[in-house]
Amino acid sequence: MTAPDSFPLSGYTVVDLSRALAGPHAGMMLGDLGARVIKVESPGRGDDTRSWGPPFIGPDDDPQATYYLSCNRNKESIALDLKSDDGRDTLTAMVERADVLIENFRGGVLDRLGFTVERLHELNPRLVILSITGFGHDGPEASRAGYDQIAQGEAGLMSLTGSGPEDYQRVGVPIADLLAGMNGAYGVLAALLERERTGKGKVVRTSLIAGIVGVHAFQGTRATVAGQDPRPGGNHHPSLVPYGLFRCKDGAVQIAVGSDRLWERFCQAFGLDPQGEGMSTNAERVANRERVIAAIEEAFADYEAPALLERLAEAGIPSGKVRTLQEVYSWEQALSQRLKITVEHPVLGEFDLPGSPLRFFDGDRETTRTEHTAPPLLSEHEQSIREWLGQSS
């Protein structure tokens, strides 16, 4: 086991006031890096996601939502009524000792509770505050509530995703929430680094729509530079051909032919003419997309997927299958990257969770966190947290 003091954020304390997904995901990322993350929840019901199901697992009298389990590993939990004197006093004591505070309340909620930014920095000038909203903290629509699918639509992602121009689809995970959490976590790290120079904490603000717009990538510049208004193109790349999902005898495979050199190699392997009419350059292939796809699928028609993937690999063509999640979590490559972890839960016992996407090394020695704590029960750590604050009776 790697010593806890060797983790990147060992010694840092995070107070996580957030709920649902964006803020909790940011807190979980910081916990994965070794920070102590204290999750502050509402008494009685806790985080909203504790009731988001099915699926639930565990005993009938204490069911656990798998949604909640997805975004709260490596945290402690305390339940506080922030409208009560005890709740406010306890949060005050935590803020005085913390390095980071995370919140995703609607605008004005923390202010009404008596914890304005000014007050938080009076209590702790070194505090880094991460604030996540749906549509941003200012502007004409700042007051709108933030929900992932609405953000995917409003920020343009759904206009790019689907089988065709009128088939708008959401991404299969709450990507707006996840991106907001990821952006928030790296904003926190930048603010902590700046604090080393200035001694002062900053406010980091991000939003669900900012997370989506921030990953528009080449689709964004198609709009801003080329003046286009992209629409869904299914499982094929809008600017590279062939690049996408292609049918074969018993299913489909994915290929990525990202250069004319690879195109020539691909054609040689499957008996196609790389200089055929309308196919010699990528621009020509994009213009003749349907003809190219038809020619490739005709060449693939007699191959079963495993044999086809083997042939593509022999030819040096980037390719792959579409795995189910069950297949991913039993895939040796994913396991080798620590993308599945095992935790021990006081109600559920031992079970597996998706792992952190980051690994760390000191020379050849890996220093990645390998032992993780399960998402906490509601207020599971109240006694130890109050003892840390000097509130033990």
Residue positions annotated with a catalytic role: 177
CA 279/CA 274 separation, integer angstroms: 6
C-alpha 223: how far from chain center? 25
CA 40/CA 170 separation, integer angstroms: 31
Strands of 18-152, DSSP E = 36-41, 56-57, 64-65, 76-79, 100-103, 128-133
CA 129/CA 100 separation, integer angstroms: 6
Tokens of 291: 């003809």
Looking at residue 134, its amino acid is G
Q: Which residue has the tokens 């190219």?
A: 292
Q: Interhelix angle for 22-32 vs 175-198, to 10°?
A: 50
Tokens of 199: 């001694």
Tokens of 301: 């028609």
Question: For residues 312 and 299, is the Cβ–Cβ distance under 8 A?
Answer: no
CA 85/CA 10 separation, integer angstroms: 31
In sequence order, which residues have a C-beta less than 8 Å from that of residue 239 and are 6 or more positions away?
218, 286
Looking at residue 126, its amino acid is R
* Residue 124 three-state SS: coil
Cα angle for residues 231, 232, 237 (degrees, 5° grid):
105
Question: For residues 199 and 126, is the Cβ–Cβ distance under 8 A?
Answer: yes
Closest CA to 101 of 179, 195, 12: 12
